[in-house]
Amino acid sequence: MSHLMDCKHNTELLSQSQDRPLTWRERMAMRMHLMMCKGCRNFEKQLAIIRKAAQELTRKL
Amino acid sequence: MSAIDPDDLQQHRSYLLRYAILQLRDPHLAEDAVQETLIAAIEGRSKFTAQSSLRTWLVGILKHKILDMLRKRAREPQLNVAEGEDENELVDALFKENGRWASPPQTWNEPEQAMENAHFWEVFEQCNRHMPLNSARAFMMREFMEMTTDEICQELSISTTNCWVILHRARLALRECLDLNWFGNAR
Ligand SMILES: [Zn+2]
Segments forming the whole domain that contains residue B165: 82-186
Please, what is the Cα angle at B121 between B152 and B182, to 5 degrees? Answer: 105
On whether both B94 and B71 belong to a single domain, the answer is no
Element (H, E) at B91: helix B83-94
- Assess if residue A2 is contained within a domain: no
On whether both B62 and B113 belong to a single domain, the answer is no
Residue range B141-184, pLDDT digits in tens: 999 888 999 999 888 888 999 999 999 999 999 998 899 889 97
On whether both B71 and B94 belong to a single domain, the answer is no
CB count within 10 Å of CB A20 equals: 14
Nearest CA in chain B to A21: B149
- At which of B78, B101, B127 does a domain end? B78
Residue range A27-44, pLDDT digits in tens: 999 999 999 999 999 999
Q: Which long-range contacts link B55-59 to residues 24+ away (Cβ below 8 Å)?
A: B55/B12, B55/B15, B58/B9, B58/B12, B58/B16, B59/A58, B59/B16, B59/B19
Total structural domains in chain B? 2
- Which residues of chain A are modeled with pLDDT < 50? 1
pLDDT of residue B43: 85
Segments forming the whole domain that contains residue A33: 7-60
Contact between A35 and B130 under an 8 Å Cβ cutoff? The reply is no
What is residue B101's three-state secondary structure? strand
Total structural domains in chain A? 1
Contact between B101 and A39 under an 8 Å Cβ cutoff? The reply is yes
One-letter amino acid for residue A36 of the chain: M
**CB of A54 less than 8 A from some CB of B:** yes
Residue of B60, B75, B57, B68 lying closest to B32 (CA atoms): B68
Cβ contacts below 8 Å, chain A against chain B, sum to 94
- At which of B31, B56, B78 does a domain end? B78
Contact between B3 and B13 under an 8 Å Cβ cutoff? The reply is no
Residues in chain B closer than 8 A to A53 (CB atoms): 111, 115, 124
- Assess if residue B147 is contained within a domain: yes
Q: Which of A18, A42, A57 sits opposite B124 (nearest CB)?
A: A57
- Assess if residue B1 is contained within a domain: no
pLDDT of residue B3: 62
Question: Could you tell me the distance, in angstroms and rounded to a whole number, from the CA of residue B102 to the centre of ligand 1?
Answer: 10
CB contact under 8 A, B100 and A15: no
Q: State the ipTM, two decimals.
A: 0.93
On whether both B148 and B59 belong to a single domain, the answer is no
- Assess if residue A1 is contained within a domain: no
Tell me how far the alpha carbon of residue B122 is from its chain's centroid.
14
**CB of A38 less than 8 A from some CB of B:** yes
B26 against B104, higher pLDDT: B104
Contacts of A22 (CB under 8 A, 6+ apart): A13, A16, A30
Percent over 70 (pLDDT), chain B: 89
Predicted model pTM: 0.77
pLDDT of residue B32: 92
Residues in chain A closer than 8 A to B106 (CB atoms): 42
The backbone torsions φ and ψ at residue B92, rounded to the nearest 5 degrees and listed phi first, read: -60, -35
- Assess if residue B91 is contained within a domain: yes
User: The CATH number of the domain where B158 resides is what?
Assistant: 1.10.10.10
Calculate how close chain A gets to B139, using CA atoms only, in Å: 10
- Assess if residue A34 is contained within a domain: yes
Confidence check: pLDDT of B1 > 90: no
Calculate how close chain B gets to A21, using CA atoms only, in Å: 12
Q: Which long-range contacts link A15-24 to residues 24+ away (Cβ below 8 Å)?
A: A15/A47, A15/B164, A15/B167, A15/B168, A15/B171, A15/B172, A16/B164, A16/B168, A18/A47, A18/A51, A18/B167, A18/B171, A19/B142, A19/B149, A19/B163, A19/B164, A19/B167, A20/B149, A20/B164
Nearest CA in chain A to B143: A54
Nearest CA in chain B to A43: B105
On whether both B99 and B134 belong to a single domain, the answer is yes
B89 against B80, higher pLDDT: B89
- Assess if residue B86 is contained within a domain: yes
- At which of B24, B51, B78 does a domain end? B78
On whether both B56 and B141 belong to a single domain, the answer is no
